[in-house]
Structure formats: structure tokens, C-alpha cells
Amino acid sequence: MERDEFLQIRGLCKSFHGTEVLKNITTSFVRNEVVSIIGPSGGGKSTFLRCLNLLETPTAGSVIFDGVDICAKKKDINLHRQKMGMVFQQFNLFNNVNVLHNLIDAPIRIKKTPRDQALEKAVGLLERVGMAERAESYPYELSGGQKQRVAIVRALMMDPEVMLFDEPTSALDPEMIGEVLDVMKNLAEEGMTMIVVTHEMRFAREVSSRTIFLDGGRIEEDKPSHELFDHPESPRLVSFLNKVL
Amino acid sequence: MQFFNDMALLFTRYNSFFTEGIRNTLIIAAFSVLIGTVLGTLMAMMRMSRILPLRLLATAYIEFIRGTPLMVQLMFIFYGLPMIGVTFPEISFIPDFSRFAAGIVAMSINSCAYVAEIIRSGIQAVDSGQMEAARSIGYSHWQAMAYVVLPQAVRNILPALGNEFVTMIKESSIVSVIGIADLMFRTRDVIAVTYRTMASLAIVALIYFCMTFLGGRLIAWMERRMSHGKG
């Protein structure tokens, strides 16, 4: 089978007020792979992820998604974002509506999904993440782990082709990290394409098929996860792994 | 004791003066806040616009209006505009329409600037993550505003808007200087007729206080109802 590089990043650069955060990043992602992005804080991991769905506008370079350069002007970015689910560190559930409406409103309004169909899907997904009985709860009534599981479902409601996770467990109390990682692990096993910025080295090593080490705005190393963790080459990666493992 | 008797006597005898004054004060405050809110919303949108000239214009307007006395603005509208040929028409069935119009226009222009700031800060107080999350699942900027940000901003905005109305009730006393028969103006009439300055002022202070206090309670009550069940 031909490698379907459905998401390609070419020469991506990003500066904030003259500070270069990403320096000429080129890589690509294939369907069904799970990629972890690790690296020290300030290395540009989150910025890289946020450039993929243009929450940050790249300074230079292009993001080619399903054969379309989504950085080009006049591209309907809203359409592309529907196919790229995103999960945030701070959950960002919509505070003004309950869990169910967090899930069904966007599909109904944007994709014109019939209401009963959206409801059925929402209930099914909530069940799978163990949140079925909290459908009527408001976000402030949920724990961090519960919020994050709902946030993952919210992204899944749009039937994304790829899921972007921006440090999904970093704002969680330690005892809640497991429940979120389990959901992500299940998702990976079902074949969802995932790009995960994470500090969870065990997740990177055991769940993701490939790991990218991003430091100083550059891809320092990009290899199958086991290889990267067992045989790190660049000295920066070696010293990073020594600190975190 | 004599003083309170004076107050009671004045209030009953000149009851019609005070009622007319209260009515006119409330009319002016209500219209000014209403118009000020509509214009203020537009001004807030300009203030947050991505188009630089609009943003600059709105910022300049807001800063200038907030940085000059309402009295001066009122005088500009009432005395200044006619000098350059802009006059408010008289309408036969509404007595004193041109004065009222000038008063309401000046107060609205003033209120607009404050309301714009209330709305802007109300919107910007909503966590930016809400907008990002909405954009990330495919909402357009305006959809995200309408469905996610504004419903949350309204809960910040409405109480402050209520306070603005209460402020307007007090501030509107200034229109008495251009001869609008508001509460303050009618009180001066009572003083002119009776020479009971202290008692009259005490009455009017009490009336203003009752209006603002009741207004404040009403707002607090609405605030509680709105936050019911929400975190």
C-alpha cells in the first residue's frame, strides 16, 4: 500500500514579535499513525500543533491537508478545522451549556446533522468514555479528567480525520491522568490518527508509533518510538530523556 | 423635628413638582441608556474591529467622551449646535421636545462611550480558550461569537449595564441647566417659591437615593437569577 501522507508540513516557520519559535519544520503524517511530540518547554511543541489547524498563522511555509494548502488565502479554514479535532490543555468546554450541548450543537449547526442522529452519536460516545450519566451536567460540575474526556468526545463528534492533542493531561491531578490516557489509548487502538504533544513519556513510548523530539524550534529527532527512546542519538535528546525518565 | 415637618409639608404641598421631576428624570435616563446601549454596542464592535481606522475612530471617541465633562458635552449640543445651524425640531404634541431631544442626545453620546467599554471588557473577560475551542471545531468567528462568547459575556455585561442605568439617573440631574424640568430643576422651583433650601434638597436627595437604591436592588436580583445554576 502506498503511504498516504495526508498531512504534510513544508518549511513551517513561526515567529512571535521577532522571536523565532519554529524554524523551517518539514515533516508529514500518514493515516492511522499515532505520533507523539516531546521536548522541553518553550521548544515550540504547542505552537507547532496550533499551526496545523491555523490557530496560529505560520510566518512562512505551508500545511497541506488532504492535498490542499490550507495556509493559502481564500481557503475555507473552518471546513478544514472540522476534520481536525483538537483537545486543549485547559479543556475549554463551553461553560454556558451542558455536556450534551457541548457535543451536539456544532454538528447540528455546522454539519447540519439531524438532531436525533447527533444525540444518538453523543450518547454512544459518552458511554464509551464512561460519561453517559453526566450528559446533563455543566462543565463546572465536572472534574478535570471528566472535562477532558468530554472535550475529546466533542472533537470526535465532528468525525475528524486527525486528532490534535495539546498536552491533554498537563492540567490534570495525577489520579486523573490515567482515565484520560485510557481514552486516548482506546482511540489509538481503533485506528484514529493522532498527533499528541505530551509530557507523558510512557504514553509516547508505548502507545505512539512514532515520536518527534522538538527542541529550539527544530525537529531534532523523528523516529519510531521504541527506537527513539532506546537509542537516542542527538545529545539534546539524551540529556532531555535523562531529565524526564 | 421642625426640619422633618418642613420636609413632609413641602413634599405634600409640592407633590406635583416632584412627581413631574421624577417622571422626566426617568424618561431621560431610560432613553439615554437605551440609545446609549444600541450605539455603545456598535461602538464596542468598532473598538474591537480588525479594521484599523474603525478601531482608531472608536478609541478616540471613547477616550474623548470619557475624558470630558458631561456638562461641556451637554452645552455643546444645546447651545453649540444651533450656532452652526443644527437645531432640534419642536413637536407640537410633546411639550419642550427640542430641549428633551438635546438632553437625551447629549446623555446618549456620553453613555455610548461608557457602554462600549462595558461591552468590550465583558467580551474580553471571556476566556480566550472558549473562542479557540469554538474555532477549532469549525465555527466561524461570528458563529463562535454568537453561540459561545456572547452568551457568556452577557452575564458580565448586564450587571454593569444596570449600574450604568443607575448612574444615569444621578448624572441626568445635569440637564436641569438647560431648562429641562427634571427632578433637580423642579426642586429649584420649590426652593425659589418657598426659600426652604435645606428641606428641599433633603427631599430631592432622598428621592434620588430611593431611585438608585431600588434600581441597584433590582439589578442585584436579576444578577442572582441569571447566575442561578451556572458556575
Give A159-195 pLDDT, tens digit per residue: 999 999 999 999 999 999 999 999 999 999 999 999 9
Q: What is the ipTM of this complex?
A: 0.91
Instruction: Please say if the pLDDT value at position B226 is more than 90.
Output: no
Residues in chain B, how many? Answer: 231
Question: Taking CB atoms and an 8 Å cutoff, what residues of chain B touch A171?
Answer: none
Q: Write the CB contacts of A46 (distance below 8 Å, at least 6 apart in sequence).
A: A166, A167, A197
* Candidates B136, B149, B156, partner chain A, best to mutate (most A CBs within 10 A): B136
| Nearest of B117, B23, B3, B18 to residue B66 by alpha carbon | B117
Contact of A21 with A15, CB cutoff 8 Å: yes
Rounded CA-CA distance B208/A197 in Å is 60
Instruction: Flag whether pLDDT at A74 surpasses 90.
Output: no
Mean pLDDT of the A29-43 span: 94
Which chain A positions have a beta carbon within 8 Å of B148's beta carbon? 94, 96
From A92, A93, A109, residue closest to B143, measured CB to CB: A109
Tens of pLDDT, residues B185-215: 999 999 999 999 999 999 999 999 999 999 8
Contact A138, B231 (CB under 8 A): yes
Of B129, B138, B151, the CB nearest to A82: B138
The mean of the pLDDT values for chain B is 91
User: How far does the CA of residue A12 sit from the closest CA of chain B (Å)?
Assistant: 20
Q: What is the DSSP letter of B91?
A: B
Q: Which residue of A has its CA nearest to B153?
A: A96
Show residues of chain B in contact with A139, CB under 8 Å.
231
What pLDDT does residue B190 have?
93
CB of B172 closer than 8 Å to CB of B36: no
Q: How confident is the model at residue B231 (pLDDT cuts 50, 70, 90)?
A: very low
Q: Is the pLDDT of residue B184 over 50?
A: yes
Q: What is the pTM of this model?
A: 0.83
Would you call B148 and A92 a contact, using CB atoms and an 8 Å cutoff? no
Interchain pair A55, B135: CB under 8 A: yes
B19 vs A93: CA distance, rounded Å: 51
DSSP readout, A65-95? Answer: ETTEETTSTT--HHHHHHTEEEE-TT----T
| A154 part of contact set with chain B, CB < 8 Å | yes
pLDDT at A2: 57
Nine cell digits for residue A114: 439531524
Q: Average pLDDT for residues B19-23, to the nearest whole number?
A: 93
**Grid coordinates belonging to B38:** 444600541
Residue B230 has pLDDT above 70, yes or no: no
Hey, which residues 111-150 in chain A have their CB within 8 Å of chain B? 138-141
Q: Is the pLDDT of residue B36 over 60?
A: yes
Which chain B residues are Cβ-neighbours of A158 within 8 angstroms? 137-138
A53/B137 Cβ within 8 A? no
Q: How many residues does chain A have?
A: 245
Name the residue among B133, B179, B177, B174 with its Cα closest to residue B152. B133
Give the residue-averaged pLDDT of B156-182.
90
Phi, psi of B188, deg, nearest 5: -65, -35
A243 touches chain B (CB under 8 A): no
The stretch A35-63 carries a mean pLDDT of 94
CA A50 and chain centroid, separation: 9
Q: What is the mean pLDDT of chain A?
A: 94
> Exposed, middle or buried by CB within 10 Å (0-12, 13-18, 19+), for A32?
middle
For residue A201, the model assigns a pLDDT of 94
Say if residue A1's pLDDT is above 60.
no
Confidence of residue B101 (pLDDT cuts 50, 70, 90): very high
| Among the listed residues A19, A27, A67, A68, the one whose alpha carbon sits nearest the alpha carbon of residue A49 | A27
Q: For residue A241, what pLDDT is reported? A: 94
User: B221 pLDDT band (50/70/90 cuts)?
Assistant: confident
Position B171 pLDDT exceeds 60: yes
